[in-house]
Structure 1
Amino acid sequence: MPSAPVVPRPAATVLLVRDHPTPPPGRTPLQVFLQRRAAGMAFAGGMTVFPGGGVDHADRPDATHWAGPDPSWWGERFGCDPELAGALVSAAVRETFEECGVLLAGPHLPEGTARLRAEATVRPRAEATVRLRADLVARRRTLADVLEQEGLVLGSDLLRPWSRWITPETSPRRYDTAFFVARVPDGQEADAHTTEAVEATWWHPAEALESWERGDVQLMAPTHRSLQEIAEHADAASVLAAADERVIRPILPIVRRTGAQVTVMLPGEPGFELAGEAPGSST
């Protein structure tokens, strides 16, 4: 008798976007930051992905270091309870700082200020950034510790909800992942200083998809679909505006195996409903 599916672990992923000031001919200004994971990673080894990772026990929302929509608002958008939603936002900010050095945070603002601006954000002092990132990765500090030390607040205003993906039920390691979009704040630069990736750089979305079609990079279904979606937009402002209008429903792909061939099917694709009933599918 088949064993019960593994319970998915909550996770957060951030589509970090920016506008190239002088895009090459045939490309729009929009770029997105992608990392190729080390081949030996337990999950998605060798895959090209957005920054992100699992929710940590310390990823708890702290109202005294929080700016922007509160956890209840995020819970409504992602279809989960406020406590989990706050942890997802916190994880998104922490993972983005750990993996590429971009801190989605800003100064304390006057009461009633509605939204942080990307150009008004502040990152830790240059001499402190390396140490703080290392402490976060080693779990010697929490994100709340970093924000308190630097006099900053988490900028939930700098994030937008994009989608929610759940790893197929047949996978031995599963995640229920909230996908966010965020524009890189002015004065900050994404880098590749993480042990989890062997390379990281900015891509035009269409360029990444073309590289996937040639077989030069490997993309999981959520990454591929997300790149397709943002490729419809010319710049970062358009992506952020589109995020405000999206209705987010959990997406649970089905993996169908026919001999040595593995097919990942998504809701809305031809044959998806039948695949869910077929022998050897994930349901």
Structure 2
Amino acid sequence: MTGFPLPAELAARAREVLAGRVEPVPPRDAATVVILRDGAQGPEVYLLRRKSTMAFAAGAYVFPGGSVDARDTDQAVAWAGPSPAEWGAAFAASEELARGLVCAAVRETFEETGVLLAGPGPHSVVADTTGDDWEADRLALIDRSLAFADFLARRGLVLRSDLLKPWAHWITPEIEPRRFDTRFFVAVLPEGQRTRDVGGEADQVVWKRPADAVELAHQGEIFLMPPTYHTLTELSAHAGVSDVLAAHREIVTIVPRAVEIEGEMRLVMR
């Protein structure tokens, strides 16, 4: 049980929380999407480096994602694929929350990458999202002046929940000042679409083989948070995107916790 060493400031907060002197912050529901594509040497994942000025996970390489918006649970969202009830069963969530998680996954992916998991019908997908009108809608979604349901309705689009696969469930440790209850999804980059460096919370984007990203983290070249590191390690065992999609997943909630080991505060997964 070696775990991840905590920086001094977080270690001090951990001791306060463990001693009962600081109350843990309630986690916010969130969704994260691992976008995959097949590369010459196996699957590749899309990673964004969060700006150093961000309050949460500054400088970390992460998957696209974010918090559930209250409007993501709107039943007016046009839907194709597994139902919210089926997603709720996969993630041990209520039907309403599951609807919000899937909508947040698709919305945040579009906001942060330009990739849209939706199409004109239940068996089609948007081929290109690079025009000025798409960019205007993306920015309107980000500043919350446009609801996701209205965005889809105006364009005559259907959310394709079948393009997502449930992968994991992580809850930020109680010691963190910002906490998220995050469901992880995987999805394949739709044919014809391409990711874009759309700015915002990230200052750099890359496609990487999961094993390469893990190795860079070992070398101290990049910073990965434990859920990202763990997910990339799991994905590195698969030879291709089809293998990832075919993998059996039993979603078990993981809540890393802080423990003191030989005088040092460390984060362990179990």
Give the superposition deviation at 1:192: 1.5
What is the Cα deviation at residue 61 of structure 1? Answer: 4.4
Aligned residues: percent identity? 46
Partner SS state of residue 171, structure 1: coil
Structure 1 position 72 matched with structure 2 position 85: yes
Counterpart of 1:83, as a letter, is E
Structure 1's 143 and 43: CA in aligned 2 closer, same or farther, altered over 3 A? same
- Cα offsets for 1:11-37 (capped at 9, x unmatched): 0000000012xx2xxxx3210000000
Give the counterpart letter for 2:25 in structure 1. Answer: V
Q: What is the match of residue 3 of structure 2?
A: none
Q: Give the number of equivalent residue pairs.
A: 250
Specify the code of the residue in structure 2 equivalent to 1:207. Answer: D
CA contact (8 A) 2:115 2:129 kept: no
TM norm structure 2: 0.88
Mapping of 1:106-117 within 5 angstroms? 106-109=119-122, 116=123
Shift of 1:257: 4.4
- Is there any run of 5+ residues in structure 1 with no aligned partner, and where? 110-115, 268-283
Once the two structures are superposed, what CA deviation does each residue of 1:29-84 show, in whole Å capped at 9, x if it has no partner?
A: 21000000001111111111000011111111435500111111011110111100
Q: Secondary structure at the match of 2:182?
A: strand
Kept in 2, the 8 Å contact 1:32–1:203? The answer is yes
Summarize the alignment of residues 164-175 of structure 1 with structure 2, pairs less than 5 Å apart: 164-175=169-180
**Contact (CA 8 Å) 2:76, 2:149: kept in 1 or not?**
no
* Structure 2 contact 77–149 (Cα < 8 Å) conserved: no
Q: 1:190 aligns with which of 181, 190, 195?
A: 195
Distance 1:47 1:258 in 2: 25
Identify which of 46, 49, 56 aligns with 1:36: 49
Is the partner of 1:141 in helix, strand or coil? coil
Which of 117, 122, 125 aligns to 1:121? It is: 125
- Which runs of at least 4 in structure 1 moved beyond 6 Å after TM superposition? none
| 2:6 is equivalent to residue 2 of structure 1 | no
Measured in 1, the distance between the counterparts of 2:154 and 2:89 equals 31
Q: Which runs of 5+ in 2 are unaligned?
A: 1-19
1:116-265 residue pairs with structure 2 within 5 A?
116=123, 120-122=124-126, 123-124=128-129, 126-242=131-247, 245-257=248-260, 261-265=264-268
CA contact (8 A) 1:166 1:176 kept: yes
RMSD: 1.6
Q: 1:260 to 1:12 in 2, by over 3 A?
A: farther
2: distance between equivalents of 1:56 and 1:261? 38
Which residue of the other structure, out of 73, 86, 98, is the alignment partner of 1:60?
Answer: 73
Between 1 and 2, higher relative CO (CA 8 Å, sep ≥ 6) is seen in: 2
Q: Contact 1:34 / 1:51 at 8 angstroms: preserved in 2? A: yes
